Amino acid sequence: SEDKTKNKCVVKMNEYWHDIANKFPKIKLDLRYIMAPMVNQSDPCFRSLCLKYGATCVYTEMLYSYKIVNCEGYLRNRLQVIDHTFCGKNYVSRPLIAQICGNDPTTLSECILKLREYSKICPIEGLDFNLGCPQDRAKDGLYGSYLLDRCQWTRVVECVKPITTALQFDNH
């Protein structure tokens, strides 16, 4: 009885993911077990470890758009692809979704162009514009969930437009 219910749930979930794959055939990611982005935690080694233990997709830590644009070596430190071998199986820190934050449309557009260029070295399968971080640093920097205040909606639209215009990652 409990096993039958559990099996029905597993079948329903498999059907759900199959339906998503059919609706979005260009998405080649297995989105069943996503490692969520975590500030100062989702480094390349941690991402590889999560993939080893069953994650099917991993995120970078939150990347600051202004640092991507202005700080030499910032991307290299945070987006390196690390090959690891655990128990005879190779784990590479991919598939990778880059999460960025910011509030300036020009900086975000430049950030996307740098990410696109860097994606030739460290392939990035997707991008997440952070509109959810509730931390104090997000409040201080006016990004994350603090952009969702009604008075910031125009800014969000202004930020998303250049992202969608500049964002055309090549298929890997």
* pLDDT at residue number 170: 45
* pLDDT at residue number 84: 56
What's the DSSP call for residue 24?
-
Q: Which of 111, 133, 151, 159 is catalytic?
A: 133
CA angle 60, 96, 93 (to 5 degrees): 90
CA–CA distance, 30 with 42 (Å, rounded to integer): 19
* pLDDT at residue number 130: 93
Structure tokens at 46: 């941690």
Amino acid at position 23, single letter: K
Task: Assess contact for 91 and 54: CB atoms under 8 A.
Answer: no
* pLDDT at residue number 85: 59
Q: Looking at the DSSP assignment, which residues form a beta bridge with residue 85?
A: 90
Give first-to-last CA distance, the chain, whole Å.
Answer: 45
Residue 133 falls in the annotated catalytic set: yes
* pLDDT at residue number 42: 87
Q: Residue 80 in 3-state DSSP?
A: coil
What's the predicted TM-score (pTM) here? 0.76
What's the DSSP call for residue 171?
P
Q: Mention every residue, 6+ apart, whose C-beta is less than 8 A from residue 146.
A: 138, 139, 152
CA–CA distance, 154 with 103 (Å, rounded to integer): 11
Q: Looking at the DSSP assignment, which residues form a beta bridge with residue 91?
A: 84
Structure tokens at 18: 């199959």
Q: What is the pLDDT along the chain (172 residues), one digit of tens a residue?
A: 666 665 665 556 566 656 656 655 565 667 778 888 887 888 888 888 888 888 888 899 999 999 999 998 898 888 876 665 555 555 555 678 899 999 999 999 999 989 988 888 878 888 899 999 999 999 999 999 999 999 999 999 999 988 887 765 444 4
- Cα 80 vs. chain centroid, distance in angstroms? 14
Q: Is the peptide bond before 25 cis (omega within 30 degrees of 0)?
A: no
Q: Looking at the DSSP assignment, which residues form a beta bridge with residue 116?
A: none
Q: Mention every residue, 6+ apart, whose C-beta is less than 8 A from residue 7.
A: none
* pLDDT at residue number 172: 41
* pLDDT at residue number 171: 43
